[in-house]
Amino acid sequence: MTKILGIESSCDETGIAIYDSKTGLVADTLYSQIDLHRQYGGVVPELASRDHLRKIIPLIDECLHLANLTIKDIDAIAYTAGPGLNGALLVGATVANALAFANQIPTIPIHHLEGHLLSPILSHDKPEVPFIALLASGGHSQIMAVHKIGKYELLGDTLDDAAGEAFDKTAKMLGLPYPGGKYIAELATTGNEVYNLPRPMIHSKDLTMSFSGLKTAVLTLISNLTKQDIKIEGQVLADIAKSIEESITDVLVKKSLLAIEQTGIKQLVISGGVSANKTLRNKFDNLAKKHGFKVFYPPLKLCTDNGAMIALVGAYRFEHGITDYSFTVKPRWDLTSLEAI
């Protein structure tokens, strides 16, 4: 039985968690910088780093208190080593290594996307390898084949914007606050798919995705409506939001279904921030019943960046003796380069 402290600081959320290899997630704390970055319309890397530095130690103390543990009870510290913002990653790496050296325990550098990939294991209904995974977030839209933990095959990627990025950028065009995906989803609940927006590459027979054309189409739609003296508010705003949501989720669903058909793997994991979208979940749930596959999601509160997923992966890697004091962060890091366990 091992207890792993997980530290996540790759972007704009400081996440701390403790995972027990026998009992599961013991405690987790999270601080989001959304209010800080909202006034700038997006993440400001330097401000993100400073806020991580300000909050990380109090969050670790709080997490240990919630778990009724001290740092002496921790067997290893896992931290996000990449990909992400360089300065933000360095904050987490520095604190992790300093605590580890001071307490003579090992550190485990973790790939941020591996955390998202395996996060549904923290749910009551857990997938078993092999499975197909859709990673959909503000920075990534990838379809992976998970042959075993640590052995990942990239099946499909986006040529340009990620799905979450498309949500955020179109929301900004509509004058919605940052991060826009949440507000698009909220508006879409009262909207109708009035506007026929494109589904880029949805009919291609490969698993490649693209969302920049959708962004252009939304900008053109807003311009045309404005020229007709139609105000982008009320029901019109809700209808545009619904049309955007339908377009993005249709592409993600179609490409994921194609991956299942091409590989024959009947388990599908949906993870990353976009996996919290209710319309996306409903579409996958309905298709799973129709096509006879199983679909898995992280708990809603663990869809976005969090320390629990880092601690979880840390526990797997610690049990296989994979530790590293190299103190290296990797703002760019290929998920398929990881060592299988």
Q: Give the pair of three-digit tokens for residue 64.
A: 């240990």
Q: What CATH code is assigned to 3-118+302-337?
A: 3.30.420.40
Q: What pTM value is reported for the model? A: 0.95
Domains 3-118+302-337 and 127-297 share a fold: yes
Could you give the strand order of the β-sheet that contains 24-32, starting from the edge strand earlier in sequence? 24-32, 13-20, 3-8, 76-82, 107-111
Helix, strand and coil percent figures for the chain, each rounded to 5: 50, 20, 35
Cross-strand partners of 77: 5, 107
Can you tell me the distance from the alpha carbon of 204 to that of 18, in angstroms, rounded to the nearest whole number?
43
pLDDT tens digits for range 11-39: 999 999 999 999 999 999 999 999 999 99
**Nearest-angstrom CA–CA distance, 3 and 166:** 38
Domain ranges for the chain, please list them: 3-118+302-337, 127-297
Give, for 60, the enclosing helix (H) or strand (E). Answer: helix 45-67
The enclosing H or E element of 322 equals: none
pLDDT, tens digit (0-9, with 9 covering 90-100), for 168-222 = 999 999 999 988 999 999 999 999 999 999 999 999 999 999 999 999 999 999 9
Grouped pLDDT means (10 residues each) for the chain, 341 residues = 96 97 97 94 94 98 98 98 97 97 96 96 94 93 96 96 95 94 96 96 95 95 97 97 98 98 98 96 97 96 96 95 81 89 81
Q: Please give the Cα distance from 82 to 110 (Å, whole number).
A: 7
Fold observed for domain 127-297: Nucleotidyltransferase; domain 5 (3.30.420)
How is residue 249 written in tokens? 């989720």
DSSP label of 68: T
Q: Which of 312, 321, 320, 275 is nearest to 296 (CA)?
A: 275
Q: Is 135 in a helix, a strand, or coil? A: strand
